[in-house]
Amino acid sequence: MSGYLYYPGCSMEGSGRSYRESLEGVLEPLGITLEEINDWNCCGATEYVSLSTTPAYAMIARNLAIAAGEQKDGESLVAACSACYLNLAKADHYMGKQPALNARVNDALGAGGLHYDPGTVRVRHLLEVILTDVGLDAVKAAVKRPLTGLKVAPYLGCMVPRPDVTGMTSDHDQPKSLDMLLRALGAEVVDYPLRTECCGGHMTQIAPRVGLELIRRLVSEAERLEAVMMVTVCPMCQINIDAYQGEMNAMFHTKHKMPIVFFTQLMGVAFGLEPKKMGVGREYTNASKTLAKALKAAPELALAAAGAPPAPRPRPDKRALPMPTMPQTPGMADSEVQE
């Protein structure tokens, strides 16, 4: 069992509830434990850091200071929400790089009896922890009900692959991390080129035309690639694409119906857990039916993948044009001719 400190973030308690429910469900099969840090506060999302420096970073650093105080053996601090992960990582990174900022933030923290030395806590995103520490082999070993036949579009969003302050990856545009994980669960993963494009963030709130157009692009591209479901790692992406799809359809006169779920939900289902307990069904565009349909079709497909006799070749169509044939040489076996 590997242990980590855990920063849930506000969304996990509200709109991203299914993320929390499914995450709690998959911890045991994955063999990891998360210890929620005590009395954490909001990271300020993309809002606070965009309009202030010292107060915004002090607010984030309060969480880092609490986490540092709760570390027993240098545990990492894991966040599942992309914005929380980036804010925590960025605060640690900038405080280490800019002594003046570090001094001001620590001066402010001091007013609350706290202190934080940059570099003390390593901030990591849940997906990266699962891929690096748990590993794909362990994930595969935990799969009890492969998601065979479920065609999904992997959607990472912006803030996990970029700006990558900790230098985790060389590919900031088309990283295949989520693809690999979903494939390990048995799902069919489409090559979704918009995997790291933006969902619009708060644009659905302040400039609806812009926000809804970004959502339209994401959803229509997933549909064009015949994915039946989008899979995300971020509560903001989930609620934008899920809750605003109706308004988007009204604006662009489209009829998209694309469910979007968290990757932990699909992990739970693949690990044999009850979909409802994984929060499946809390979406606006319900994912339960799509998921049930795919799982129902799965046993036969799984059998085929496991080396069962292939289906007989279709008989030649008599109405079709004649195919070119090799002249038969007497005394030669068929197999030799083919070679």
Comparison of 110 and 119: residue with beta carbon closer to another protein: 110
**Of residues 67, 81, 105, 267, which one binds another protein by CB under 8 A?**
105
Comparison of 4 and 244: residue with beta carbon closer to another protein: 244
Round to whole Å and give the CA distance between 62 and 105.
9
Nearest to 151 by CA among 239, 241, 223: 223
Residue 158 as a binder of another protein (CB under 8 A): the answer is yes
Residue 247 as a binder of another protein (CB under 8 A): the answer is yes
Applying the rule CB under 8 A, the residues between 284 and 313 that interact with another protein are 284
Residue 163 as a binder of another protein (CB under 8 A): the answer is yes
- 2 DSSP 8-state letter: E
Q: At its nearest, how many Å lie between another protein and the CB of residue 168?
A: 12
- Contact assessment for residue 148 and residue 302, using Cβ atoms and an 8 Å cutoff: yes
Residue 243 as a binder of another protein (CB under 8 A): the answer is yes
Comparison of 128 and 283: residue with beta carbon closer to another protein: 283
Count of residues near another protein by CB under 8 A: 64
Using a 10 angstrom Cβ sphere, with 0-12 exposed, 13-18 middle and 19 or more buried, the burial of residue 192 is: buried
Q: At its nearest, how many Å lie between another protein and the CB of residue 165?
A: 10
Q: How far is CA 114 from CA 57, 100, 101, in A?
A: 14, 18, 16
Q: At its nearest, how many Å lie between another protein and the CB of residue 18?
A: 8
Angle between helices 245-252 and 235-243 (to 10 degrees): 50
Residue 78 as a binder of another protein (CB under 8 A): the answer is no
- 132 DSSP 8-state letter: I
Residue 257 as a binder of another protein (CB under 8 A): the answer is no
**Of residues 35, 164, 213, 223, which one binds another protein by CB under 8 A?**
164
Nearest to 243 by CA among 258, 227, 226: 258
Nearest to 147 by CA among 266, 5, 4: 266
Give the strand pairing for 151-155 and 229-232: parallel
Which residues bind to another protein, rule: CB under 8 A?
A: 10-11, 13-18, 39-42, 44-55, 58-59, 62, 104-105, 107-114, 158-159, 162-164, 172-173, 197-198, 200-203, 205-208, 210, 243-244, 246-247, 250, 281-284
